[in-house]
């Protein structure tokens, strides 16, 4: 396949690019580098520095290349930031993405795998199915849901075919440490890794009186390597299938950990104490978020390979050491 990836200089997008290339697919990355890093873009893929809404640059790219599928990762993703700057999030995650897809349709590129979020479900107890009620809390999640609905309307008009992947909490680093998370906008496992190697003194746990076993929030953490492979599976399916019936899939493991459990696991790995403090609940945070991944597993006979939380934590820790040690390509 010839794959067009947006946001391929970001954390998840760069892992996606690596996964497609590892399977022998041709990859072109489009990224503005506003949030991404050129260091994370795989060496042997084509890179176009451009905003996704730059019609002149995107049109030029589409005229010169015949792509089989779009994998649309590009987005602003911080929940706390979205609460401070909601217009910024709607502008990028909806309006710019909408313009980008319309440009692609104009040039005959109509198959898309879209990077969405479990945040569209809001706070729900139990394992969440794709058919469950949608009640997003943050502007980030609302902007992603708005774009999902845009894709659904295009599909009804027979203008596109899509696969929407709703991520639960993505964590870890590439299995060969070729990529990982650079920017830290409140990411739990990255912050933990920074504390573990003494890059920072302590971690703040936001909220200690949730109705969970230890009072802290519960999340379903999916390893970024498994998530990336799910994108490859999705893209291969949508490209190979004529008149594909567009669908939505959860991306998670079906079990969750509290923040305190994650801290305890890291302490076991490093055999040392992690310093932490409690802070107030953050606006927009969800108490409980655990997937029901049965639909994707059944459809594609998918079996996760990296679903041990200690494997995920160890990879994040190794990546942080690599960054601090300067052993990261320029």
Q: What 3-state DSSP class applies to 138?
A: coil
The candidate with the shortest Cα–Cα distance to 152, out of 141, 163, 142, 143, is: 163
Spell out the residues 6+ positions from residue 131 whose beta carbon is closer than 8 angstroms to its own. none
Q: What tokens does 276 get?
A: 């932490």
**Residue 309, CA atoms < 13 Å, CB-side half-sphere:** 22
Place of tokens 């990255």: 190
| Catalytic annotation present for 140 | yes
Task: State how beta strands 69-72 and 2-6 pair.
Answer: parallel
Are 142 and 128 within 8 A, CB to CB? no
**Of the candidates 28, 21, 23, the residue with the CA atom closest to the CA atom of residue 49:** 28
> What whole-number distance in Å separates Cα of residue 121 and Cα of residue 83?
17
DSSP 202-223: -EEEE-S-SSSSSSS-EE-EEE
Count of H helices and E strands in the chain?
11, 15
Q: Which one of the listed residues 73, 90, 121, 140 is annotated catalytic?
A: 140
Instruction: Give the CA-trace dihedral at 68, 143, 249, 22, to 10 degrees.
Output: 40
Q: End-to-end CA distance of the chain, in Å?
A: 29
Region of residue 113 (left: phi > 0; alpha: psi -120 to 50; beta: else): beta
Give the residue numbers annotated as catalytic, written as ranges.
140
């Amino acid at each position: 396949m010839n794959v067009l990836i947006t946001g391929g200089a970001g954390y998840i997008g760069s892992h996606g690019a690596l996964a497609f290339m590892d399977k022998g697919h041709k990859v072109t990355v489009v990224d503005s580098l506003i949030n991404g890093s050129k260091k994370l873009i795989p060496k042997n893929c084509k890179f176009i520095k451009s905003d996704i809404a730059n019609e002149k640059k995107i049109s030029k790219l589409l005229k010169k290349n015949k792509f089989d599928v779009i994998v649309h990762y590009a987005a602003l993703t911080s929940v706390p930031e979205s609460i401070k700057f909601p217009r910024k999030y709607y502008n990028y995650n909806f309006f710019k993405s909408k313009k980008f897809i319309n440009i692609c349709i104009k040039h005959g590129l109509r198959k898309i795998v879209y990077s969405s979020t479990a945040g569209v479900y809001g706070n729900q107890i139990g394992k969440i199915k794709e058919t469950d009620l949608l009640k997003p809390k943050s502007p980030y999640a609302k902007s992603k849901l708005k774009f999902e609905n845009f894709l659904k309307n295009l599909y009804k008009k027979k203008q596109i075919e899509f696969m929407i992947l709703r991520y639960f909490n993505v964590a870890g680093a590439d299995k060969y440490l070729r990529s990982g998370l650079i920017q830290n906008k409140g990411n739990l496992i990255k912050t933990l890794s920074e504390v573990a190697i003494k890059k920072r003194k302590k971690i703040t746990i936001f909220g200690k009186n949730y109705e969970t076993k230890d009072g802290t929030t519960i999340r379903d953490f999916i390893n970024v390597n498994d998530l990336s492979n799910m994108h490859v599976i999705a893209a291969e399916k949508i490209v190979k299938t004529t008149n594909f019936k567009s669908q939505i899939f959860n991306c998670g493991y079906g079990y969750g950990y509290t923040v305190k459990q994650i801290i305890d696991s890291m302490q076991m790995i490093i055999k040392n104490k992690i310093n932490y403090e409690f802070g107030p609940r953050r606006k927009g945070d969800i108490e409980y978020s655990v997937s029901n991944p049965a639909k994707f597993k059944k459809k594609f006979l998918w079996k996760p390979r990296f679903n041990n939380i200690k494997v995920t934590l160890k990879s994040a820790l190794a990546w942080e050491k690599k960054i601090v040690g300067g052993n990261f390509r320029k």
